[in-house]
Amino acid sequence: TQLLEQSPQFLSIQEGENLTVYCNSSSVFSSLQWYRQEPGEGPVLLVTVVTGGEVKKLKRLTFQFGDARKDSSLHITAAQPGDTGLYLCAGGNTGNQFYFGTGTSLTVIP
């Protein structure tokens, strides 16, 4: 099992604030995925990053893959209540699966 540590574990912020969530590992991954999970639902894929240093934007969400492909970050600008959920990173290598991170639970207060 390849461990991906996410930080912070819990985050509660006011609407309009910015935040960054981190996903770190000692392993190198060929690609990394980010998911958001809302209460009572399964995780939903947000983005996949595959190249070291790659930056992808999805509206107010900015995802970055570390140069060494061992870590990633998710930055949310002007957070909204609809951003509330559990954010999960998942790293893959040449095997048959992706390993999920420990998760960051985000609450955006109106």
Partner 1 sequence: DTAVSQTPKYLVTQMGNDKSIKCEQNLGHDTMYWYKQDSKKFLKIMFSYNNKELIINETVPNRFSPKSPDKAHLNLHINSLELGDSAVYFCASSPVRTGASGYTFGSGTRLTVV
Q: Which residues bind partner 1 (CB under 8 A)?
A: 30-31, 33, 35, 37, 40-45, 48, 86, 88, 90, 92, 94-98, 100, 102-103, 105
Sign of CA dihedral 48, 54, 57, 63: positive
CA distance 75 to 62: 5
**Residue (29 or 108) nearer to partner 1, CB:** 29
Pairing mode, strands 44-49 and 31-37: antiparallel
**Residue (1 or 14) nearer to partner 1, CB:** 1
Q: How far is the CB of 7 from partner 1 (least distance, A)?
A: 14
